[in-house]
Structure 1
């Protein structure tokens, strides 16, 4: 298998598998539709690519030298996941109307990647496996990763937009949102224990 194909396979497996960013993309697709969710998708993609590049340029060394920074990121991620779970669980299940919430922004998607343990693991593992400290390989890996990440996260938002058509009753949307909230709490709980 060529190095590029291996990089692409890694990017797909890491990007499309369930995780906090994809859960939010799914929920956003349900609540706001695909088009409105693309800002979150774009922000998540750019946020991850920036994380990948900075890890490749030595950010992980900074975390090793300053462990409190890593601890702050860890607990910030836990808090953010719990906040997102609370937002989903407290949603009233109404699609549209005067109290319509805004779709997650690009900044939201980018910040979520930086607080997402799955993103950090993917960045560190990917850089370690594929770049060998060579900047040219780092840039190539990022170039391959970006469109795969975008399409992967967008597929979750698209799935949400498809599900949206079946959720005309608020109680069904509330049930879905609470299920997604439970998944985020489980993700946060995994980080605590």
Structure 2
């Protein structure tokens, strides 16, 4: 297997697997449709690519030197996951009135990546496995990872948009959103207890 193909396989496995960013994309697709959810997917992709590049340039070592910064990111991640869970759980379930609730945007997608332990693990593991200290490989890995990340997050939004027709009744969408909120709370709980 070539290095590029191996990088692509890693990027796909890390990006398509369930995690907070993909849970929000699924909920956004179900609530707002695919088109409105693509901003979240684009922001998540750009946020992760920036995290990947900065990790490759030494951000991880900075966090090891200043553990307080790492703790701030950790607790910020917990707070952000709980905030997103609250937004999902408090949604009224009505699809027709988009003035009340807006789809998560690019900034939320990017912030979720920076606050997601899954994203940090993927960035650190990917840099360790494929890049090391070779900047040329860092740029190759980032160029491969970006489109795969976007398609992966967008596929969760697409899946949400496909089940939207079954969630047309507000009660069903509320139950769906509360289930997704529960998954985000579980992710935050894992961060606190794990």
* Interval containing the TM-score (normalised by the shorter chain): over 0.9
Query: 1:28 Cα deviation (Å)?
Result: 0.5
SS in 2 for 1:188: helix
2 CA distance for matches of 1:97 and 1:62? 45
1:101-145 Cα deviation digits (max 9, x unpaired)? 111111111111101110000000000000021000000000000
The aligned counterpart of 1:181 is 181
Superposition RMSD in Å = 0.8
| Partner of residue 118, structure 1 | 118
TM-score (normalised: structure 1): 0.98
Q: Tell me how far apart the structure 1 counterparts of residues 172 and 133 of structure 2 sit (CA, whole Å).
A: 49
The DSSP-based 3-state class of the residue aligned with 2:36 is helix
CA distance in 1, matches of 2:130, 2:116: 21
Matched, 1:31 2:22: no
Distance 1:87 1:140 in 2: 37
| Whole-angstrom distance in 1 between the partners of 2:56 and 2:97 | 45
Paired with 2:23 and 2:33, the residues of 1 have a C-alpha distance of: 14
Equivalent pairs, count: 193
Show structure 2 runs of 5+ residues with no match. Answer: none
Runs in 1 of length 4+ with deviation above 3 angstroms? none
Return the alpha-carbon distance in structure 2 between the equivalents of residues 76 and 98 of structure 1: 28
Gapped runs of 5+ residues in structure 1? none
Aligned-pair CA distance for 1:99: 4.6
The equivalent residue for 2:88 is 88
- Structure 1 CA distance for aligned equivalents of residues 25 and 150 of structure 2: 11
Listed one character per residue, the Cα deviations across residues 42-78 of structure 1 (whole Å, up to 9, x for unaligned) are 0000000000000000000110110000000000000
